[in-house]
């Protein structure tokens, strides 16, 4: 692969970065001394926790909303935008929409923690609770699009969303051009797909490793089946990795298959230990989904000795109660 991956080209990645300038943080990439010693490698941490909304999702949401304004004009978005989310995407859409003066509605299932719903509402979006799964929240989005003429902002399955997330990959290649591997949490595939498209276009030798939940991992089950499938959602410390990928997935399923080199599932105990380790050694409080890269390194003994490896700290939307659950799970 050279400059394209299932519709996500380098030109589109750089266009996304231009749209994000001044609205999204170019996050730092730093070396972890503790983790580098532990794994006998150069372990680099990409701090998406430092975005204004605390997570990488702001990139995709900002890119898509900005592109829609460019292409369709403000009148086309007068009815507002609507999305479904497990938390971080909803907060990103709320933030980006408010910054651009666009009304926004965010549909959440009852599984989404209340602190995430509150954070969305604080940014000016209308929060709608519906059903017990992400699929039911998506159905509400479709209803509002059909009945009210709202514009949908998908959480992952759109080239504009993917290109926004892929700007992380551009930054990785600028800050660590000799990177050997990047380890990314895998759910809907927007983050891994975007990063993978960017790094593979610039440095094809970079290994892209995906990490999923041990249970309720829709993308992992879909890849195994060779087609998008539905799975039952389960509670997890890494709750933002839950949810389906859409049975009519048109972008990220194929993209992940193209750019991902290997994949691992991690247990709740491994996620808990990684969350606690990152707090203890890096002094950062991260959500479970942000800790799965470290969890995979520890639980599966990935061979990284002597390599430069980037872990994506994707977000910090975690409550103290969740941290307490993580500590209790591992007895620390």
> Among the options 57, 116, 212, 240, which is catalytic?
57
Sign of CA dihedral 68, 72, 75, 81: negative
Helix (H) or strand (E) holding 117: helix 114-122
Helix (H) or strand (E) holding 194: helix 190-202
Catalytic, 57? Answer yes
Main-chain phi, psi angles of 277, to 5 degrees: -65, -40
Q: What is the strand order of the sheet 104-108 is part of?
A: 126-129, 104-108, 81-85, 151-152
Rounded Cα distance between 15 and 21, Å, is: 10
Rounded Cα distance between 104 and 310, Å, is: 34
Rounded Cα distance between 10 and 234, Å, is: 36
Catalytic, 66? Answer no
Main-chain phi, psi angles of 69, to 5 degrees: -60, -45
Structure tokens at 124: 């000016």
Main-chain phi, psi angles of 301, to 5 degrees: 55, 45
* Distant-in-sequence, close-in-space partners of 101: CB < 8 Å, separation ≥ 6: 74
Structure tokens at 130: 């519906």
Residue 94 vs residues 53, 101, 118, 139, 145: alpha-carbon distances, Å:
10, 10, 12, 19, 17
Closest CA to 123 of 106, 108, 136, 140: 106
> Among the options 32, 66, 187, 314, which is catalytic?
314
Active site residues: 57, 314
């Amino acid at each position: 692969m050279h400059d394209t991956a299932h519709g996500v080209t380098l030109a589109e990645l750089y266009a996304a970065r231009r749209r994000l300038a001044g609205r999204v943080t170019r996050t730092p990439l730093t070396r972890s001394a503790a983790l580098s010693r532990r794994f006998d490698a150069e372990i680099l941490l990409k701090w998406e926790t430092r975005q204004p909304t605390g997570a990488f999702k702001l990139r995709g949401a900002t890119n898509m909303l900005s592109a829609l304004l460019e292409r369709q004009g403000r009148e086309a978005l007068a009815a507002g935008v609507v999305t479904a989310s497990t938390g971080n995407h909803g907060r990103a859409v709320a933030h980006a929409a408010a910054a651009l003066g666009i009304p926004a509605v965010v549909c959440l299932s009852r599984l989404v923690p209340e602190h995430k719903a509150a954070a969305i509402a604080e940014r000016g979006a209308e929060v709608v609770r519906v059903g017990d799964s992400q699929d039911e929240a998506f159905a509400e989005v479709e209803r509002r699009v059909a009945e009210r003429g709202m514009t949908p902002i998908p959480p992952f399955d759109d080239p504009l969303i993917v290109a926004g997330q892929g700007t992380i990959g551009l930054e990785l290649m600028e800050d660590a051009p000799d990177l050997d591997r990047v380890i990314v949490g895998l759910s809907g595939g927007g983050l891994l797909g975007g990063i993978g498209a960017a790094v593979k276009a610039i440095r094809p030798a970079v290994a892209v490793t995906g990490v999923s939940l041990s249970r309720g991992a829709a993308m992992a089950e879909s890849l195994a089946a060779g087609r998008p499938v539905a799975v039952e959602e389960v509670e997890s410390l890494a709750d933002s990795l839950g949810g389906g990928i859409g049975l009519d997935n048109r972008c990220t399923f194929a993209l992940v298959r193209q750019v991902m080199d290997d994949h691992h599932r991690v247990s709740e105990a491994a996620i808990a230990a990684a969350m606690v380790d990152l707090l203890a050694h890096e002094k950062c409080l991260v959500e479970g989904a942000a800790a799965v890269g470290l969890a995979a390194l520890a639980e599966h003994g990935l061979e990284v000795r002597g390599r430069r490896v980037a872990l994506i700290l994707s977000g910090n939307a975690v409550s103290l109660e969740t941290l307490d659950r993580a500590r209790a799970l591992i007895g620390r």
